[in-house]
């Protein structure tokens, strides 16, 4: 299956600055910004990392659509973590159109059943507070948390599958990216999900 549709990129805490005009010129229509925590010793609570806020400001001041994701660590309380994620959006009145639950972590000391349950609870709480949500899940679910297949199909999903990619970093034009590196292969979906 050849993937078609709008070009969307994601960014993380490690990106210091976005060149939004370059992205727009390349055909990008939306950016999914990771919302990462940073401990504030003065207030004794977690704040949004300044790099994330900078990226959000850059997207908001452009014609790009803003989306947000949260990388959830399942060893932490799923309700507390989901609430922090959604509070960042609601309390700061960010114009986020879609929320993404990034479910990739698989700690060695959590059973597959508990891993699935923590992810389910985090996703449900995110959904209850911000319904336009989507899941980003590793294909390792079947090896680490197969129980997730019982509930994954209830949600829209972004399935990361990299059938081919450059061996090392390389500069390329947007046209080269679109011709050579966008997916043109079948992807594996959770049980019950449709493409």
* 47: exposed, middle or buried (Cβ count in 10 Å: 0-12, 13-18, 19+): middle
Q: Model's pTM, two decimal places?
A: 0.89
pLDDT at 112 > cutoff 70: yes
Who wins on pLDDT, 181 or 161? Answer: 181
CATH architecture of structural domain 7-180: Alpha-Beta Barrel (3.20)
Q: Phi and psi of 104, rounded to 5°?
A: -130, -20
Beta strands 133-137 and 156-158 are: parallel
Quote the CA–CA distance of 187 and 195 in Å, as a whole number: 9
Q: Residue 66 has which token pair?
A: 């803003």
pLDDT at 104 > cutoff 90: no
* 3-class state of residue 136 by DSSP: strand
> In this predicted model, what pLDDT tens digit does every residue of 9-60 receive, in sequence order?
999 989 889 999 999 999 999 999 999 999 999 999 999 999 999 999 999 9
What's residue 191's pLDDT? 62
> In this predicted model, what pLDDT tens digit does every residue of 123-175 receive, in sequence order?
999 999 998 777 777 666 777 888 888 888 888 877 666 667 788 888 989 88
């Amino acid at each position: 299956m050849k993937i078609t549709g709008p070009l969307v990129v994601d960014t993380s805490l490690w990106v210091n600055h976005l060149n939004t005009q370059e992205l727009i010129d390349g055909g990008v229509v939306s950016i999914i910004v990771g919302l990462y925590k940073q401990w504030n010793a003065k207030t004794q609570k977690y704040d949004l990392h300044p790099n994330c806020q900078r990226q959000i400001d850059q997207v908001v001041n452009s014609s790009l659509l803003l989306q947000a994701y949260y990388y959830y660590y399942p060893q932490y309380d799923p309700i507390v973590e989901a609430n922090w994620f959604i509070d960042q959006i609601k309390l700061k009145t960010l114009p986020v159109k879609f929320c993404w639950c990034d479910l990739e972590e698989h700690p060695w000391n959590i059973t597959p059943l508990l891993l699935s349950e923590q992810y389910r609870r985090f996703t449900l709480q995110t959904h209850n507070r911000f319904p336009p949500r989507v899941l980003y899940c590793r294909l390792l679910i079947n090896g680490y948390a197969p129980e997730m297949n019982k509930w994954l199909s209830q949600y829209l999903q972004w399935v990361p599958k990299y059938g081919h990619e450059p061996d090392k970093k390389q500069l390329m034009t947007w046209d080269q990216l679109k011709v050579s590196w966008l997916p043109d292969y079948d992807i594996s979906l959770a049980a019950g999900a449709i493409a």
